Amino acid sequence: MKNRSLIASSYKVFGIKYFLSFILLALTQLIFWMINKSYFNLASESIFKILKGNLIFILSTLSIYLCVFILLSTLPVISLKKFRYDSLYQKFTSFFWLAATFLMVFFNLVDVFWYETIGSRSSFSQLLVFFAVESKLSFIFSIIKTHFIPIVLLIAVFCLLIFLCKRMDKYFYRPKESLDYKYSRQGLICEIILFLLVVGGSFWFYRGYYKRCLRPIHAGYFSSLKNTDLVLNTPYILFKTIGKKRTKRIEFYSKDKVEELFSIDRNLPTQNTKLSPPLRCIKDSGVKNVVILQVESLSAEYVGSYNPDSKFTPFIDSLIKKSVSWKGWANGNHTMAAPLSMNSSFPQYDADKYFFRSEEANTEMDSLSQMLKDHGFDTSFFFADKNGSMYLDVYALQSGFDAYYGKNEYDRDNPNNSDYIEGTWGILDEPFLKYSVEKLDQRYMENKKPFYSYIITSTSHHPFLIPYEYKTSLPQGPLQIHQTIAYEDVAIREFFKLASTKEWYKNTIFIIAADHTGMSQGGVWATPLGQHSIPIIFYTPGAECSGTDDKLVSQVDIFPTVVDILGIKTHILAYGKSIFDPEHQNIGLTSSSISYIFVEDNYLLQCFDLCSRVEVFDTSKDPLNQDDLMKKIETLPQKQKDKILNIIEKTRASIQQFNNRMLDKRTTLSK
């Protein structure tokens, strides 16, 4: 009985301390909302979901900050006489609890009063600003002066914690009882079981109940982007941003100069009386519905219409002949970047970090999905991979899609299916694209209103596995990806075959574009221009528009172009322009891990070290990029020299535009 009493009292004190930490952190969350509630709009929010999100992130935070305390309090060492009940051991354990709890409360209270200044939860890089202040002592005194009452309350809370801790430890520490403790196999087994349950539970809380580790972007599950800071807490954000590369503000030009060189303000719809026949046909097509089909790794190199040596895409080639199409530009080099480019018109312009894992992941920005939803469209997002993959389900919720369909939903609607090959990225494209059509039709028949859907394929991704029945019938090529591209072509053919039987088919514009390029056989396709060359296809079966023109169309042009086609009067922020805009420029932009890349007309610029070193190539005369024009800039004709210098200025302005807007969260016109 004595053994059980000791174990029970040990876990009782542990539970009380843990609960106190939880209450204090939850209380500071409540204070945060009460002080800063004018910055949030909860009219259309579910309070239950926000509270649920708070609970998940608070429990995860406790698991992080109290991890040492949890281990010291639950290690099954009570059978080692005196060790667990030694006063020094108890003081050591209590110190970790006090320190961790104080830090959590302190960090959360900092943002209660600091939030109105920075407009977001403080990150680790923002915390480092303090160490950059020249007069730290004066800075501290100014903080004390302006926030005297909260600081006094914080000190009072800390003193209360110390008092409670001493009282509990006095109750817990019973030397005579511990010295009389006898070894018990049952007691040790009981302790081991409790230890595994507590530590396992803490790890579960840390992950936030998700198969993939909880991240700040998951706050989007519980609220709109405007209110994610209510779900998150500051100690959690600080921990998650430790070691993350700090984004430095870039200042090449004044704000007015940046807007003059590279403005992203767009007024739609545009007015242009000099459109080419193919563009005029699309503009006047009268389509009601929009489907964007994002095709995995579909390089222009693989498409026969752009590369006569390629024989892997007979259906896509036939579709191009009855569509308006371009050899377009991919604004990123990974799948996660493409929806941001095509649905939100924001390019991959900081390739050192993935956007959805960055401090800016919960940044609100204009999106095609939210705009069309606001105009009465039914919106849906389809991705064949497991839910949570690449955070695209969170992105879909944050950017206004009404429904998300991933592998989880497919398996639910198709129990016992065999449409998944172990080791691949998701459901095979042929069955998943057919599923997408049927779901679109179901939603259309239920809602009877125009719709917008974003569909992502995945089979033509490493490890390049396709169904067994296609392995002998589809052509193979020098590259492993070639046969999966041939399978992709079949899947898209079947997609359109099924879609053509639906009532909404002829009132729909289908936009087909790759997310990024795939592996290359070299030559011009291995240059920066070739590595970003993708097909961009606008297919309108009801209007039968076909042809092309000499524009360089980018993924970021798709959002403003669709808004223009639908005739919606609006004002947005977009890095692309409508292809119907008389001021549309032949511009492509992106970044790699070592450089920014900017294309205008026939010039390609690579900018290294924030444009301290620049290379420029004339792709029309130098397709393999072997003749750097910057090495002979002074000898070039004045007109060509001025053009190149202007492109360099635009590149710098575009970099500053992206950097400043992301840091300041000025990514919608409301900010």
Confidence band of 1 (pLDDT split at 50, 70, 90):
very low
Q: In one letter, which amino acid is 416?
A: N
Percent of the chain surpassing pLDDT 70: 84
In the predicted structure, residue 289 carries a pLDDT above the cut 90: yes
Confidence band of 246 (pLDDT split at 50, 70, 90):
low
Torsion angles phi and psi, residue 398, rounded to 5: -65, -30
Does 585 map to a domain?
no
pLDDT at 593: 60
Does 378 map to a domain?
yes
pLDDT at 519: 86
pLDDT at 380: 97
CB 203 within 8 A of CB 74: no
pLDDT in tens, 417-470: 877 765 567 789 999 999 999 999 999 999 999 999 999 998 888 888 888 889
Q: What's the rounded Cα separation, in Å, for the pair 39 and 52?
A: 20
Together in a domain, 297 and 224: no
Burial class of 352 by CB neighbour count within 10 A (0 to 12, 13 to 18, 19+): exposed
Does 571 map to a domain?
yes
End-to-end CA distance of the chain: 65
Confidence band of 190 (pLDDT split at 50, 70, 90):
low
Mean pLDDT across 57-63: 89
In the predicted structure, residue 90 carries a pLDDT above the cut 80: no
CB 395 within 8 A of CB 356: yes
In the predicted structure, residue 281 carries a pLDDT above the cut 80: yes
Report the CATH number at residue 546.
3.40.720.10
Residue at which a domain ends, from 180, 210, 240: 240
Percent of the chain surpassing pLDDT 90: 40
Q: Is the dihedral of CA 271, 274, 276, 278 positive or negative?
A: positive
- 175-189, 563-577, 620-634: range with lowest mean pLDDT: 175-189
In the predicted structure, residue 77 carries a pLDDT above the cut 70: no
- 376-380, 473-477, 500-504: range with lowest mean pLDDT: 473-477
pLDDT in tens, 355-365: 666 666 667 78
Q: What's the rounded Cα separation, in Å, for the pair 566 and 385?
A: 31
Together in a domain, 320 and 422: yes
pLDDT at 349: 78
Does 511 map to a domain?
yes
Confidence band of 157 (pLDDT split at 50, 70, 90):
confident
Does 256 map to a domain?
no
Q: What's the rounded Cα separation, in Å, for the pair 532 and 549?
A: 19
Q: What's the rounded Cα separation, in Å, for the pair 402 and 370?
A: 9
Torsion angles phi and psi, residue 537, rounded to 5: -125, 130
Report in angstroms the alpha-carbon separations of 255 from 261, 364, 661: 10, 21, 11
Q: DSSP secondary-structure letter at 476?
A: -
Own/partner long-range contacts of 270-275 (Cβ < 8 Å, ≥24 apart): 270/564, 270/578, 270/580, 270/581, 270/582, 271/582, 272/580, 272/581, 272/582, 274/582, 275/580
Together in a domain, 405 and 477: yes
- 42-56, 72-86, 226-240, 382-396: range with lowest mean pLDDT: 72-86
Together in a domain, 364 and 437: yes
Structural domain including 404 reads 289-575
pLDDT at 358: 63
Mean pLDDT across 203-215: 69
195-216 b/e (C-beta count within 10 Å ≥ 16 → b): beebbeebeebbebeeeeebbb
Together in a domain, 428 and 501: yes
Residue at which a domain ends, from 545, 575, 605: 575
Does 632 map to a domain?
no
Q: Is the dihedral of CA 315, 319, 321, 322 positive or negative?
A: positive
Together in a domain, 402 and 519: yes
- 200-209, 436-445, 535-544, 611-620: range with lowest mean pLDDT: 200-209
Q: What's the rounded Cα separation, in Å, for the pair 39 and 226?
A: 9
Partners of 539 in the β-ladder = 510
Torsion angles phi and psi, residue 436, rounded to 5: -60, -45
Q: What's the rounded Cα separation, in Å, for the pair 596 and 588?
A: 11
Residue predicted with more confidence, 129 or 529: 529
pLDDT at 123: 75
Mean pLDDT across 403-414: 91
CB 52 within 8 A of CB 133: no
Does 463 map to a domain?
yes
pTM of the model: 0.77
CA 42 to chain CA mean position, Å: 23
Residue predicted with more confidence, 392 or 342: 342
Together in a domain, 402 and 551: yes
Q: DSSP secondary-structure letter at 249?
A: P
Together in a domain, 522 and 459: yes
Residue predicted with more confidence, 113 or 117: 113
Mean pLDDT across 495-518: 96
pLDDT at 133: 44
Q: Which of 396, 385, 390 has the alpha carbon at shortest distance from 428?
A: 385
Q: What's the rounded Cα separation, in Å, for the pair 61 and 67?
A: 10
Mean pLDDT across 229-256: 83
In the predicted structure, residue 178 carries a pLDDT above the cut 50: no
- 352-356, 458-462, 505-509: range with lowest mean pLDDT: 352-356
CB 586 within 8 A of CB 600: yes
Mean pLDDT across 648-653: 94
Q: Which of 333, 253, 329 has the alpha carbon at shortest distance from 585?
A: 329
Torsion angles phi and psi, residue 179, rounded to 5: -70, -30
Together in a domain, 350 and 433: yes
Together in a domain, 218 and 306: no
- 49-53, 236-240, 348-352, 598-602: range with lowest mean pLDDT: 348-352
pLDDT at 324: 95
Residues 6+ apart with CB under 8 A from 600: 585, 586, 587, 647, 650
Q: Report the number of distinct structural domains present in the chain.
A: 2
Q: What's the rounded Cα separation, in Å, for the pair 364 and 344?
A: 10
Together in a domain, 294 and 236: no
Number of other CB atoms surrounding residue 163 within 10 Å: 10
For residue 459 the two structure tokens come to 């089979």
Partners of 83 in the β-ladder = none
Confidence band of 187 (pLDDT split at 50, 70, 90):
low
Residues 6+ apart with CB under 8 A from 378: 402, 443, 444, 447, 449, 450, 451, 452
Does 669 map to a domain?
no
CB 560 within 8 A of CB 345: yes
pLDDT at 621: 93
CB 548 within 8 A of CB 563: no
CA 671 to chain CA mean position, Å: 20
Together in a domain, 232 and 358: no
Alpha-helical (H) ranges within 596-637 are none
pLDDT in tens, 303-320: 999 999 999 999 999 999
Residue at which a domain ends, from 521, 556, 575: 575
